[in-house]
Amino acid sequence: MAKQKQSMPSNGVRMPAEMWAKCDEMTAKLGLESRNEYIRNAIEFYTEWNEMSHTQKFLTPALESVIGAKVRDSENRIARALYKMAVQQNALTHVLATAYNWTPDELEKLYDTAEDDARGWNGTLDLRDFNYDGEDD
């Protein structure tokens, strides 16, 4: 089946001879039908680059797939590390509760205090600011 040519307006373009030579070289290298096709592709690409509204011209599906896989791998590693930390923290909590014979009410109060402290840290913790006397500020 033959490709139908689309009727397009024609306008002259002035460029140095080196740029025309580069257009011809790239047209052949990319296996395009004509210099015009190369110029149209270049203009489309440059327009998209400037507008940055459609990233598919720059992030190919293969690249998006690789980036997605890397993110998923990182998520899995972080999830495994968090799970291991949670197990260790749970074991440590059991050891402390057993060693100090804490009652359920004391543990609940300790949990509430820990939760309030964590809210106050807002994602950051500096042990130099910790109250080691066990008294409220």
Same domain, 82 and 116: yes
Residue 117 lies in a domain: yes
What is the domain extent for residue 42? 17-57
Burial of 38 (0-12, 13-18, 19+ CB in 10 A): buried
Same domain, 108 and 73: yes
Q: What is the pLDDT of residue 24?
A: 92
Q: What is the pLDDT of residue 29?
A: 93
Q: Model confidence over 18-50: pLDDT tens digits?
A: 999 999 999 999 999 999 899 999 988 888 777
Same domain, 43 and 70: no
Same domain, 50 and 68: no
Q: What is the pLDDT of residue 56?
A: 59
Same domain, 79 and 32: no
Q: Does pTM surpass 0.75?
A: no
**CA-angle at 70, arms to 52 and 50, nearest 5°:** 10
Residue 3 lies in a domain: no
For the chain, which residues score pLDDT lower than 70? 1-5, 53-59, 123, 130, 132, 134-137
What tokens were used for 63? Answer: 């690249």
**CA-angle at 36, arms to 34 and 38, nearest 5°:** 80
Q: What is the pLDDT of residue 2?
A: 47
